[in-house]
């Protein structure tokens, strides 16, 4: 595959950094949620300050993902992706494009939804878990909004995992079945299997 048919170094770096952060955040968020539920259930072994600290770190990394995702979107809009292989079916091209834009929607929507949920909870949020760095609220305290945005935020994690599964399956199909070099555009050490 020609070097000009690869993504830029910036696009590749952002892709992998955001992917690692998002997958880690999903599992970290589920663990923090389990601890919060145990705390509310009266488990004396759960330290409330530890739970608050975990959620503040979750919010900090979420805001980092938001910033990186906006940077990635701007980069993508100003640096076109390499062309898809000419032999791809129209439905495959549509699915690839739709999946990528759906990823942008959840990469930006999930952190924003989490920020709304945190704001609506009325509880203070801190960047880097430091009280000197409060995270501003996007909305006022609202139990109904907190419940709705929290529900959407948790379901968004499943949407990301479904998109991720489709993305991985498609990338492996292109590499091992189609042998068209699509995967090597994002993983520099791979050579096209054609």
Query: 101-116 pLDDT, tens per residue?
Result: 999 999 999 999 999 9
Q: Looking at the DSSP assignment, which residues form a beta bridge with residue 126? A: 134
Give the pLDDT of residue 87: 87
Structural domain 3-185, CATH architecture: Up-down Bundle (1.20)
Give the pLDDT of residue 74: 98
Spans of all domains in the chain: 3-185
Q: Is the pLDDT at 77 greater than 50, yes or no?
A: yes
Q: Looking at the DSSP assignment, which residues form a beta bridge with residue 134? A: 126
Q: What is the largest CA-CA distance in the chain?
A: 61
Torsions phi, psi for 126 (to 5 deg): -130, 135
Whole-number average pLDDT of the chain: 93
| DSSP characters over 103-134 | HHHHHHHHHHHHHHHHHHH----BGGG-TTSB
Kindly report the CA angle at 58 between 52 and 64, in degrees rounded to 5? 140
Give the pLDDT of residue 2: 44
Cα→Cα distances 97→4, 88, 103, 120, 156, Å:
20, 12, 10, 34, 20
Three-state DSSP class for residue 68: helix
Give the pLDDT of residue 134: 97
Q: pLDDT band at residue 151, thresholds of 50, 70 and 90? A: very high
Give the pLDDT of residue 191: 67
Give the pLDDT of residue 3: 47
């Amino acid at each position: 595959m020609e070097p000009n048919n690869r993504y830029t170094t910036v696009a590749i770096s952002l892709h992998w950094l955001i992917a690692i952060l998002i997958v880690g955040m999903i599992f970290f968020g589920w663990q923090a949620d389990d601890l919060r539920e145990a705390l509310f259930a009266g488990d004396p072994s759960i330290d409330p300050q530890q739970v608050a600290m975990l959620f503040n770190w979750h919010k900090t990394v979420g805001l980092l993902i938001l910033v990186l995702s906006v940077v990635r979107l701007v980069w993508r809009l100003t640096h076109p992706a390499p062309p898809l292989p000419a032999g791809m079916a129209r439905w495959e091209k549509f699915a690839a494009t739709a999946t990528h834009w759906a990823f942008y929607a959840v990469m930006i929507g999930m952190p924003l939804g989490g920020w709304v949920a945190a704001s609506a909870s009325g509880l203070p949020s801190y960047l880097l878990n430091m009280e000197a760095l409060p995270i501003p609220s996007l909305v006022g305290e609202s139990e109904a909004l907190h419940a709705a945005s929290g529900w959407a935020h948790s379901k968004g994690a499943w949407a990301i995992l479904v998109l991720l599964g489709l993305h991985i399956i498609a990338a492996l199909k292109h590499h091992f079945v189609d042998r068209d070099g699509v995967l090597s555009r994002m993983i520099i050490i791979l050579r096209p299997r054609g």
